[in-house]
Structure 1
Amino acid sequence: MAGVGRDDLDGRAATARGPAPHGGARPLTRGREPVPTGRAPQFFTLAGLLEQARFADQHALRFHEGPGWAAGVLQLKPGQHDPQTEHDRDELYLVLRGEGILRIGADRHPVAPGDFWLVPAGTEHRFEGYRQEFVVFQVLVAG
């Protein structure tokens, strides 16, 4: 959605303008001026991120990183194996599309859009059992 408005501190609308290449980040602007912050806010679309992942032929796309954290999307097609096991950081998952199973160790948990999970660092886990496109927003956080 180009032109999604945001209100900044002085009450004038700040807006993401123009297309972002492959769903990448667009700085928020006020008119033609960037919003004054230490770092520019960024705007992403799920469609753009998934297109970028397909363009790079990846099932997972880490699209933003900061000190101690990283954000990404995971897109799995029916029959595609989720290769992840465990990470050195806590991981937050929000299921966006599809239904499946989140295997955490030997336990299996049904997941569907809107489900939110925290998997602690060092815990073996993966998604399985999805019969349609399965898309998850993920954030890795240093513990």
Structure 2
Amino acid sequence: MEILENDVFRGCLFAVIGIIVLASLQLHRLRRARYTEKVTAIITHNCCGGSKGAYQPVYEYHGEGANHRVVSRWGHRSRIIEDGAEVELYYIPDRPEKIYVPIEAKTFLIYKIFFLFFGLASFLMGTGLALGLIDG
């Protein structure tokens, strides 16, 4: 009986982890939908910040009747975008300092795939363990 209880606990734990990971990915997708205004920005320079010396592009663009300069919230080990390059970005209407840059999102695609796979695998393993479909 102790083994069964342990399997059910592990199954539920894996299922909860899977649900949390999948829910966080979906929440990120919903938040991204708020960025509806599309503009072309210029990379003025890449600042090197943070404790690990990550490169962060600085975007300059015109939106909501004013010019804006925003430092990327993502740091990269190397320059993913060269100074002077033009990129498309999206911002939230009435909050043009809040940006989403699709080219930066592509660099994090591997992390999203990993978490999606981990979430699905955890959920399926947890469900299988909890229902006794697989042995723990």
Q: TM-score range by the shorter chain?
A: under 0.3
Name whichever structure is richer in helix by fraction. Answer: 2
Higher relative CO (Cα under 8 Å, sequence separation at least 6) belongs to 2
TM-score of the aligned structures, taking structure 1 as reference length: 0.22
TM-score of the aligned structures, taking structure 2 as reference length: 0.23
Structure 1 or 2, whichever has the larger Rg, is 2
